[in-house]
Chain A
């Protein structure tokens, strides 16, 4: 039997560990509660793992540093909270447009504005997803436990490198800073993904030379013998500034097509489905823990409900949700924000008449609150 090695670790600590396991080589950070432990861990651990961790003077610089490093071919990450994310949005869009892989760990706190630094919340979800002008899907993974922080940041690196896009790992104070006993010997390490390198003839390289809309272009780093022409402005395959030509629009469509084409493959969910359940409870992040606890209590009490935890939030795991919701007369979406932000995105999928929102602000949603809603059927 494998011997268990338990450690008391936070989600932030395991997120940093997962980044290292994914092959992260570059980190530029700026302190902000409740994400600072990721920054501190990377400053401590990266130098020992042939990497570079940097202190940046602000969040804009932090992400710009990462994009520069990624253009040189190094897997790069930064970590922040809502106020820092607001500053990073400009550079997130730049990474989308230049097809530059980068991972951003966003540990949410209670907003608006500087809000409550040491209070959890799930209020940034749509600010994250819809930060890009034009209708592009930004992949978002949402761990609920420290172990899932380790897993989801690896998924984030995988997809970021594979599709050449920024990817966000969205946790919050409660997931990031709560310590949990973890059997570290059982942590899963997925194989590291290396972005597809240009293998064509010398001089044939085009920075944005994608061959089909669903795949990113092959990569050549700055400093290689292939000339890189990168730009955040409208461009053709060669990276030249262009306007009003079909190729530019083709490439804009490609930015979305490459994500959309992999939506089902990117879907990560955990489900505890009960046969003939009337109610499906859907949740993500910290609230998924209370929701799962509520489902188990109800099931033990002989009133089974189905439970679905979404670890991929975007692209929306449409098929998994449809399947889980099949036959249910109610779909309750549990999340710690006003109005049910993610629920509003799911509404067209599950239907207004079935959708029930369970929301909270400023404190954890409890299993009892969820049970109350489920029982009200």
Chain B
């Protein structure tokens, strides 16, 4: 078998004399040579800094040069896509510096957790070399850099420990001068999941100029920082691709067939259902929308709630129309259905009370304090009888009984489709509510599009326009 080479043979590396990057790169070349991975299955992913010049030194693998510190995220995208959707043969190898590792810490932590098939070589020379020797999060305490002339006051981060805490299955820390560096790198690459090797090395342009530091002293830097050396963790943990679950079939959808129960509505109606989050306001509104759709109408439903989920007001603006709905806002509401104090307060704030006029029908729970409104107001015991969880549904049903905007059959059909086996008991409960409010369904539905005057039996319960 022909032996692969990866680095350009006899390449003159673009690094200063004695720079650790060259040592790591040669060790990587040696490691790849031992493993003999097909070069077209290797992707060298680099980013910014002197270490980022490494991609140009490779002659056969793919190379992707990325933005500062982001290389682990790009590499994870490559490994995850290939591992789950492709052949699963690709091995991205990230070459990143200590500066990049700190910018992209989140990507490193996430990649360690997710566990794609990728390797990271972190070149830790304790400072930003390319930009002139500024301190990094990995500068040792007391380290003199261009930006810490009196010595670095901040202790250095322990990346290996951090990535072990992030569940990385393979973690090693080596010195650039270690004779077995290539062997450790080869083990990391051969690991089927996320593997990281942090290599402590010299920046001979700045670090050794300003600090009493030689290759022989790298170990004492590690000791002073409390850095453990060697292969610190090596476990076989299933990769993301191995555990990713594909479902066999599409999730079923529930299309609503347009039935023969047609609505005779001849103009758009806009209503606002106002209540409290968690009390099925939006669900009641969508039940009404579905009923309208069953009866051949177009519908839009615009929900509003505070940023929080599950507390405060919940508002649904609903438009039912025989024609396509263009503007989804409600300029003047045809009906306001109010089922809680939260809802009433929001209608006040939200200018819907101000927009209401004598053609607006208000159906409100009978316990809610309302401002003086220029509308017909009908108060019904939505919260007391069907209870808070069914108040909004009851309000929608009461509105339908009064206006007949949509045939009631369409509402009941929608309720049955939604509730399945529980529909009958709910239907019974809602019907009994209608009876107690003298809103029982008349035998013949008076389909009309004009706002109906309330049935005679209700006359005493309504408040006329003020």
On A, residues with C-beta under 8 Å from B are 3-8, 25-26, 28, 33, 44-45, 47-52, 54, 56-58, 60-61, 64-69, 71-72, 74, 76, 90-91, 94, 116-118, 174, 177-181, 184-185, 222-225, 227-233, 239-241, 286, 289-290, 292-293, 296, 363-364, 366-368
- Is there a chain A Cβ closer than 8 Å to B456's Cβ? no
Residues A50 and B255 in contact in the complex (CB < 8 Å), given A222-B62, A290-B326:
no
Does A222 contact B325, Cβ atoms closer than 8 Å? no
Cα(A222)–Cα(B118), bound, Å:
14
- Which of B64, B84, B254, B297 interacts with A230 by CB under 8 Å? B64
- Residue in A closest to B46 when the chains form the complex, CB atoms: A231
Does A228 contact B62, Cβ atoms closer than 8 Å? yes
Most chain A CB within a 10 A radius of its CB, from B92, B301, B306, B327: B327
Most chain A CB within a 10 A radius of its CB, from B53, B62, B80, B306: B62
B residues in contact with A8, CB < 8 Å? 256, 286, 289-290, 293, 299, 301
Residues A50 and B327 in contact in the complex (CB < 8 Å), given A65-B76, A68-B75:
no
- Is there a chain A Cβ closer than 8 Å to B109's Cβ? yes
- Is there a chain A Cβ closer than 8 Å to B462's Cβ? no
8 CB-based A-B contacts, threshold 8 Å: A6-B256, A8-B256, A72-B90, A91-B70, A180-B298, A181-B297, A289-B328, A296-B326
Within 8 A of A (CB), among B287-320: 289-290, 292-293, 297-307
Does A26 contact B85, Cβ atoms closer than 8 Å? yes
* Number of residues on chain B facing chain A (CB within 8 A): 74
Does B331 contact A94, Cβ atoms closer than 8 Å? no
Does A48 contact B82, Cβ atoms closer than 8 Å? no
Cα(A18)–Cα(B329), bound, Å:
25
- Which of B64, B73, B304 interacts with A60 by CB under 8 Å? B73
Does A67 contact B55, Cβ atoms closer than 8 Å? no
- Is there a chain A Cβ closer than 8 Å to B21's Cβ? no
Does B65 contact A65, Cβ atoms closer than 8 Å? no
Does B78 contact A69, Cβ atoms closer than 8 Å? yes
Does A64 contact B327, Cβ atoms closer than 8 Å? no
Can you name 20 extra interface pairs (CB under 8 A) apart from A68-B81, A224-B40? A8-B289, A45-B251, A50-B85, A64-B73, A64-B107, A68-B79, A69-B85, A76-B81, A116-B307, A179-B289, A180-B328, A181-B298, A184-B253, A222-B62, A222-B82, A223-B82, A228-B63, A231-B64, A232-B65, A232-B67
A residues in contact with B77, CB < 8 Å? 26, 28, 64-69, 71
Q: Is the contact region of chain B dominated by helix, strand, or loop, or is it mixed? A: mixed
Residues A366 and B251 in contact in the complex (CB < 8 Å), given A6-B258, A222-B62, A222-B64:
no
Cα(A116)–Cα(B40), bound, Å:
48
Does B56 contact A240, Cβ atoms closer than 8 Å? yes
Give A151 Cβ to nearest chain B Cβ, in Å: 15
- Residue in A closest to B40 when the chains form the complex, CB atoms: A225
- Is there a chain A Cβ closer than 8 Å to B86's Cβ? yes
Within 8 A of A (CB), among B145-197: none
- Residue in B closest to A97 when the chains form the complex, CB atoms: B67
Cα(A239)–Cα(B58), bound, Å:
13
- Is there a chain A Cβ closer than 8 Å to B249's Cβ? yes
On B, residues with C-beta under 8 Å from A are 39-41, 43, 53, 55-56, 60-67, 70, 73-82, 84-87, 89-90, 92, 106-107, 109-110, 114, 244-251, 253-258, 286, 289-290, 292-293, 297-307, 325-329, 331
Does A5 contact B256, Cβ atoms closer than 8 Å? yes
B residues in contact with A3, CB < 8 Å? 257-258
Does B65 contact A231, Cβ atoms closer than 8 Å? yes
Cα(A56)–Cα(B440), bound, Å:
53
Does B81 contact A26, Cβ atoms closer than 8 Å? yes
Residues A7 and B256 in contact in the complex (CB < 8 Å), given A54-B80, A228-B62, A296-B326:
yes
- Which of B106, B254, B298, B331 interacts with A7 by CB under 8 Å? B254
- Residue in A closest to B248 when the chains form the complex, CB atoms: A48
Does A50 contact B246, Cβ atoms closer than 8 Å? yes
Give B280 Cβ to nearest chain A Cβ, in Å: 15
Does A52 contact B84, Cβ atoms closer than 8 Å? yes
Cα(A225)–Cα(B106), bound, Å:
32
Does A4 contact B64, Cβ atoms closer than 8 Å? no
A residues in contact with B76, CB < 8 Å? 61, 64-65, 68
B residues in contact with A174, CB < 8 Å? 302, 328
Does A366 contact B331, Cβ atoms closer than 8 Å? yes
Does A292 contact B326, Cβ atoms closer than 8 Å? yes
Residues A94 and B67 in contact in the complex (CB < 8 Å), given A289-B326, A290-B327:
yes
B residues in contact with A52, CB < 8 Å? 80-81, 84-85, 244
Give B68 Cβ to nearest chain A Cβ, in Å: 9
Cα(A229)–Cα(B8), bound, Å:
14
Does A223 contact B62, Cβ atoms closer than 8 Å? yes
- Residue in A closest to B299 when the chains form the complex, CB atoms: A181
Does B251 contact A229, Cβ atoms closer than 8 Å? no
Give B250 Cβ to nearest chain A Cβ, in Å: 5
A residues in contact with B325, CB < 8 Å? 180
Does A6 contact B293, Cβ atoms closer than 8 Å? yes
Cα(A266)–Cα(B55), bound, Å:
37
Give B86 Cβ to nearest chain A Cβ, in Å: 6
Does B70 contact A60, Cβ atoms closer than 8 Å? yes
Cα(A231)–Cα(B53), bound, Å:
11
Cα(A116)–Cα(B293), bound, Å:
32
Does B40 contact A227, Cβ atoms closer than 8 Å? yes
Does A289 contact B327, Cβ atoms closer than 8 Å? yes
Does B257 contact A5, Cβ atoms closer than 8 Å? yes
Does A48 contact B249, Cβ atoms closer than 8 Å? yes
Does B81 contact A69, Cβ atoms closer than 8 Å? yes
Cα(A68)–Cα(B253), bound, Å:
32
Does A65 contact B82, Cβ atoms closer than 8 Å? no
A residues in contact with B75, CB < 8 Å? 68
A residues in contact with B290, CB < 8 Å? 8
- Which of A5, A116, A241 interacts with B56 by CB under 8 Å? A241
Residues A178 and B301 in contact in the complex (CB < 8 Å), given A7-B256, A74-B81, A233-B65:
yes
Give B151 Cβ to nearest chain A Cβ, in Å: 33
Cα(A223)–Cα(B83), bound, Å:
12
Residues A51 and B85 in contact in the complex (CB < 8 Å), given A8-B290, A68-B75, A229-B63:
yes
Give B244 Cβ to nearest chain A Cβ, in Å: 7
Does A64 contact B74, Cβ atoms closer than 8 Å? yes
Residues A57 and B256 in contact in the complex (CB < 8 Å), given A71-B64, A290-B327:
no
B residues in contact with A240, CB < 8 Å? 56
Cα(A23)–Cα(B60), bound, Å:
31
Cα(A178)–Cα(B35), bound, Å:
55
Cα(A91)–Cα(B81), bound, Å:
18
- Residue in B closest to A367 when the chains form the complex, CB atoms: B327
Cα(A220)–Cα(B60), bound, Å:
15
Cα(A225)–Cα(B76), bound, Å:
21
Does A228 contact B64, Cβ atoms closer than 8 Å? yes
Give A34 Cβ to nearest chain B Cβ, in Å: 11
Cα(A191)–Cα(B466), bound, Å:
60
Residues A293 and B307 in contact in the complex (CB < 8 Å), given A52-B81, A227-B60:
no
- Which of B89, B292, B328 interacts with A223 by CB under 8 Å? B89
